[in-house]
Structure 1
């Protein structure tokens, strides 16, 4: 099972067209990419539009990849700048579209929605609606919320509601706060996205969010960025710096409270991720259908030469357990 697929929602895009906040968002995106990357991104979106919207095209590609099922979330443009009224409409429009898309193949497609984290009380309400009315398994969130960290206490109502509902939270970066510094050779994605994930996770851990919400089921894209690779430095800071002691355990103690997708590209990197977090905390991820994703997730898992139990867990067992827990509730 692939835990990392995307859906475009043209009806939601139409809601923000012409909005000043959207214009500012596009301007920031232009600053963070070279002209060559912007052209390549536009060409890719035009080429992939059928795969991002058509159920039959998605299922055909899953068959070609040897993947039985996929978790589908919206393209991670959450528009956290939006005011309360527009933000609510965006969330409901997006979540309805995800639910409708997945309902066309309910045995194979499982949906994640979005919520307006910039309005935490509204976000908590929309999370309830997404799970109880639309039948989604949880939500996708980005790494920052209009400049505010996910670990900000303002978001506690959302994490509390996710715990209450057993809803999944999928952490997926969109853009990089390093901006123009990485605006060359596609470094904003290649390097910037893992950095964003690493920073967001570090805030959640060091600020004690995972202590306050031990039942939060957080799944992280792109193998957790760089954090699992260099977690020893975080542990060292926690041990020697009293100002780093915002969490009850050394940071490595929280890796096994999280789940990570296996989109780390090489057998060596996947084996290292298994060593760092445990095979029972890893799910397949393709980033379908984008070019920074992979079309051979099963072959890449095979190439890591893990034991049969670990292989089976990553191939689908862990994902099914994550989905079934929330579904049973």
Structure 2
């Protein structure tokens, strides 16, 4: 076991009380046992695993479960409620918690408004978005104004997968988070690549979940777009691999001997970040993932400090005092 830095966990979920109450008995993620959560539970798990600070986020379905509410402003109000809760939690525990603002991205104009409030007024640390909204992935032109503002502001954005928008989930009777989430991350990054968004927004600080889903395995394959379909010649990035290497990758559910070598081939250590996926993965998994991170022999000790802490500090300078 290597000596670890005080870790910064960039993939750590929260379930604010008002959010849980609004979600009610809705199925958040099919087949997934929805956990309980409290700040105290997070702090206990953090303390047991050497996690100094957790940057909190809302997992799927974000506030999209309110998109079809009779009140068209319901999702916007819930985003505001969650973000203000996060701000209060940070005020109470400034060295232990950061937060990604939840954005009601189904309505891009509302998302831009909430981004401004969350960053300028609440002083949250970044923004959290899902891989798709109403069947549209992040490469859809409707979302680029929000991504462009994130890039212009230098605000990190964490991309979390959600349930696929067009999928017969009964086919295998398996939770989509077991395997489909990894494909959703790949789908949304492919849409960003081949719609030119990542090249038009080269300064976008985008963190993709779970070691990039299947991106490390498919990175070379994605370079063959124009070979497979000549119509993609004008849409493909000039250098697919270099564009993928500009992304950041968290290692939630991925600090193991299968995932890390593939990710390491694609991403420099400066672009990899520690993540736990607590509480949607239980405390025992946080210990397992942390041990996998600590024991992985593909990194130097300098790399391990970068992945565990210093890369996050470069993205979230407020946390330098944690």
| TM-score interval (norm. to shorter) | 0.7 to 0.9
Give the structure 2 partner of residue 251 of structure 1: 240
1:58 aligns with 2:42: yes
Give the structure 2 partner of residue 218 of structure 1: 206
Scaled by the length of structure 1, what TM-score is found? Answer: 0.85
Which segments of 5 or more consecutive residues in structure 1 lack a partner in the other structure?
none
Give the structure 2 partner of residue 274 of structure 1: 264
1:322 aligns with 2:310: no
Q: Deviations over 1:109-138 (max 9, x none)?
A: 111111111211111111011111111111
Aligned partners of 1:220 and 1:260 also within 8 Å: yes
Scaled by the length of structure 2, what TM-score is found? Answer: 0.86
Distance between the aligned counterparts of 1:241 and 1:325, measured in 2?
45
Higher RCO (CA 8 Å, separation ≥ 6 residues): 2
CA RMSD of aligned residues (A): 2.4
Distance between the aligned counterparts of 1:320 and 1:182, measured in 2?
42
Give the structure 1 partner of residue 4 of structure 2: none
Could you say if the C-alpha distance between residues 311 and 238 of structure 1 is closer, same or farther in structure 2, counting changes exceeding 3 Å? farther
Distance between the aligned counterparts of 2:290 and 2:87, measured in 1?
26
Give the structure 2 partner of residue 192 of structure 1: 180
Say which of 128, 141, 164 aligns to 2:116. Answer: 128
Distance between the aligned counterparts of 1:60 and 1:114, measured in 2?
24
Which segments of 5 or more consecutive residues in structure 2 lack a partner in the other structure?
1-7
Give the structure 1 partner of residue 287 of structure 2: 295
Give the structure 1 partner of residue 162 of structure 2: 174
Q: Deviations over 1:34-79 (max 9, x none)?
A: xxx46xx1xxx3xx42xx22x2221111010111111111233223
Indicate the larger mover: 235-244 or 197-206.
235-244
Distance between the aligned counterparts of 2:287 and 2:319, measured in 1?
28
Superposed displacement of residue 175, structure 1? 1.5
Distance between the aligned counterparts of 2:115 and 2:129, measured in 1?
12
Superposed displacement of residue 271, structure 1? 2.4
Distance between the aligned counterparts of 2:265 and 2:81, measured in 1?
41
